[in-house]
Amino acid sequence: MKLKIKKGATVEVIAGADKGKKGTVTALDKKNLKIQVSGVKLLTHFDRKDGLNKKEGFINYSNVALVSNPDKKAPAKRKAAKSAKA
């Protein structure tokens, strides 16, 4: 399935515990339709060697809205067509 949201795009969470937060997409899981957004769904993992580690978890693709996409450029403006004189 082709996704409209790409890596590096800015998105806003529209559902869930982190509703209203904005961040950039850091990873995509196209098979399971999940995305990883910076600063959203922070998970804490304890490791004996390193102690507490925090990282972002994956959230459902349907729970975010696209704010801006870095790949898309603004459409070029066309020059006005000259009217035909009769």
- Model confidence at 53: pLDDT above 60: yes
The model's confidence at residue 68, banded by pLDDT at 50, 70 and 90, is confident
Domain boundaries, the chain: 10-68
- 22: which strand partners? 12
Q: What is the pLDDT of residues 28-46, one digit of tens each?
A: 999 999 999 999 999 999 9
For domain 10-68, the CATH architecture is: Roll (2.30)
If pLDDT is split at 50, 70 and 90, which confidence band does 18 have?
very high
> Residue 29 in contact with residue 23, Cβ under 8 Å?
no
Beta bridge partners of 66: 11
